[in-house]
């Protein structure tokens, strides 16, 4: 497998939450760097040595509110 995709959102309690799009892989981290390490660990736990993806793609979802009046 070449690549695995994750959707990343800010956690309401702080930090970040990531979910793989096609696999049951979920993780979180207080910083982006910690999140990346936790994603790597989660991937290594989920796949065997032959199937480990070569890279992970992170897609960030953000919400923004603003006043109209």
Does any domain span residue 12? yes
Question: Which pLDDT score is estimated for 63?
Answer: 82
Domain region containing 21:
3-61
∠ CA(56), CA(58), CA(60), 5° rounding? 175
Does any domain span residue 67? no
Given a cut of 80, whether residue 19 has pLDDT beyond it is yes
Q: Is 63 left (phi over 0), alpha (psi -120 to 50) or beta?
A: beta
Does any domain span residue 56? yes
In total, how many domains does the chain have?
1
Does any domain span residue 24? yes
Does any domain span residue 52? yes
Write the pLDDT tens digit of every residue in 35-67. Answer: 999 999 999 999 988 889 999 999 999 888 889
In this structure, are residues 21 and 40 in contact, taking their beta carbons and an 8 Å threshold? no
Does any domain span residue 19? yes
Question: Which pLDDT score is estimated for 41?
Answer: 97
In this structure, are residues 25 and 42 in contact, taking their beta carbons and an 8 Å threshold? yes
């Amino acid at each position: 497998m070449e690549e695995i995709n994750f959707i990343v959102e800010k956690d309401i309690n702080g930090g970040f939450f990531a979910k793989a799009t096609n696999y049951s892989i979920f993780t979180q981290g207080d910083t982006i760097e910690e999140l990346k390490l936790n994603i790597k660990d989660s991937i290594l736990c989920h796949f065997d040595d032959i199937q480990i993806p070569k890279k992970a793609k992170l897609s960030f979802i953000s919400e923004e509110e603003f006043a109209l009046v």
